[in-house]
């Protein structure tokens, strides 16, 4: 039996960051298998065989209807019970960009489980009305997330964003406060001084409170719009020749998840 945690990196039509996500986990000391959703639905692969599930970026099913909707419904309707057991067992889940959108559509975020209740959040179109692709500053919250705390990352980090539907919205304003109260806000867009902001372009989508990364109440499900798999090496930083990017924050996140799994 391998001592390396085994990660299921989910594939689906339109997902295009699965190879980079798998490489990031492998660089952090895990082993991965890229598994197509059709293999899961056909029973050829089971989530029970893995210690973590990664949903990476891209445009699953062409983002038909809205980003992440079709794959989210597919997982909710056909794998809901299995996903609930997966999380109840303490196994980790990370959703990046489109993967975050999928997790919100299933209801796993921010609630932590799939139920018959309507989803409690959405990732809506950017206020700018266009696809936004740039590096952003992120304030790291004091959250319950087991993989992305200030202890390992520090108060402010940099990661690249690339999305057209990344504005995290909830039906009632009070619901945002509940996320902060329960320690579920992991990342917020920040200005040049490291302060959370709703102002464009530091906040590329207009997300209220600058929210761009959330976790479930247990802290083992992480959804985030920025792409940590695109910053696992110093030379991926646009100003690395000027001495910037000496701490690849994405690599730290993947290492933290891997270390958590090794302790299971």
Q: Which of 74, 105, 132, 229 is catalytic?
A: 229
| DSSP assignment of 77-89 | HHHHHHHHHHHHT
Indicate the SS3 state at residue 180.
helix
Tell me the C-alpha distance between 91 and 45, whole Å.
17
Q: Other CB atoms closer than 10 Å to residue 207's CB: what's the count? A: 23
Active site residue 227: yes
**Catalytic residue from among 20, 97, 158, 163:** 97
Catalytic, 17? Answer: no
DSSP string, 127-167: TTSS-EEEEEEEEEP--S-SSS-HHHH-SEEEEEEEESS-E
Closest CA to 211 of 193, 190, 240: 190
Joined tokens for residue 217: 């109440």
Query: Is residue 158 annotated as a catalytic residue, yes or no?
Result: no
Q: Which entry of 20, 132, 165, 227 is annotated as an active-site residue?
A: 227
Reported residue count of the chain is 264
Catalytic residues: 97, 227, 229
């Amino acid at each position: 039996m391998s001592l390396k945690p085994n990660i299921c990196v989910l594939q689906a039509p339109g997902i295009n960051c699965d190879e980079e996500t798998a490489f990031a986990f492998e660089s952090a000391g895990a082993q991965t298998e890229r598994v197509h959703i059709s293999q899961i639905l056909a029973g050829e692969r089971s989530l029970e065989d893995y210690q973590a599930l990664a949903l990476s970026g891209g445009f699953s099913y062409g983002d038909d209807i809205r980003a992440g909707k079709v794959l989210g419904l597919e997982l909710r309707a056909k794998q809901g019970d299995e996903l609930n057991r997966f999380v109840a067992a303490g196994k980790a889940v990370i959703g990046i960009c489109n993967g975050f959108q999928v997790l919100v559509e299933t209801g796993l975020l921010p609630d932590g489980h799939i139920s018959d209740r309507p989803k409690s959040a959405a990732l809506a179109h950017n206020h700018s009305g266009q696809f936004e692709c740039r590096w952003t500053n992120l304030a790291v919250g004091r959250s319950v997330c087991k993989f992305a705390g200030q202890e390992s990352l520090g108060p402010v980090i940099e990661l690249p964003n690339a999305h057209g539907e990344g504005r995290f919205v909830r039906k009632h304003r009070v619901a945002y406060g509940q996320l902060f109260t329960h320690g579920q806000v992991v990342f917020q867009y920040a200005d040049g001084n490291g302060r959370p902001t709703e102002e464009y372009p530091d906040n590329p989508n207009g997300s209220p409170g600058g929210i761009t990364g959330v976790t479930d109440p247990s802290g083992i499900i992480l959804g985030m719009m920025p792409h940590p798999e695109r910053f696992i090496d110093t030379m991926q930083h646009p100003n690395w020749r000027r001495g910037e990017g000496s701490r690849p924050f994405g690599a730290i996140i993947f290492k933290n998840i891997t270390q958590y799994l090794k302790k299971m």
